[in-house]
Amino acid sequence: MFAQYLPERYQVASAHVVDSTGNFSDQIDAVVFDRQYSPFIFTYENQLIVPAESVYAVFEAKQTADANLVKYAQDKVASVRRLHRTSLPIPHAGGVYPPKQLIPIIGGLLTFESEWKPPLGASFEKVLDGGENDRRLDIGCVASHGHFLFDEEGGYDLVEGSKPATAFLFALISRLQFSGTVPMIDIDAYGDWLTK
């Protein structure tokens, strides 16, 4: 679904994420990453590997949301956010810009259905609230019912609607635009790790 609707600067794939110290994330169902400014994406044992600096967002995708799945998704998101990311100074014709500040990695959940009644009610929100810091889910879609967004000031907004997937995609694109561009990767750090 993502690849079809996101702007072309973003690529989406199931992948593992790696950092320059050799640490890997769990397998992620949908990684939204920057292909244009990512000098390397590689495959190892039939698994796509994406450098941590290239990642904009990660999503766990399953048929139905329940408490265990939300916690599982929170753990998957944390496995990516905990990775080390580099950012180098950016050379330009007039000198060098300082390293770009690392962008927050968006974490989310995609399902068709929800086990809760109501599907996007207080029980769902309570489980979402259990994911703090690296485990927080920022955005998600329950395609049959609606989507959710984390608001730094007010917690979660649970939004029901007649076109939940479309509303979710617009919200995601807005957040991706706000992220800007990924930082310049320290290729030498990856080279050092790969030669050890």
- Per the document, the length of the chain is 196
Residue 49's closest CA among 33, 60, 73?
33
DSSP assignment of 126-141 equals HHHHT--GGG---EEE
Question: What pLDDT score was predicted for residue 142?
Answer: 95
Mean pLDDT by groups of 10 residues along the chain of 196 residues: 83 94 96 81 85 96 95 98 94 91 96 92 93 95 94 88 90 92 87 76
Question: What pLDDT score was predicted for residue 1?
Answer: 66
Encoded tokens for 17:
């994420």
Give the span between the Cα atoms of 189 and 36, in whole angstroms. Answer: 20
Give catalytic residue positions. 29, 60, 62
Residue 119's closest CA among 136, 138, 103, 140?
140
DSSP assignment of 37-79 equals T-S--EEETTEEEEEGGGEEEEEEE-SEE-HHHHHHHHHHHHH
- Whether the Cβ atoms of residue 173 and residue 92 lie closer than 8 Å to each other: no
Question: What pLDDT score was predicted for residue 98?
Answer: 94
| DSSP assigned state of 154 | T
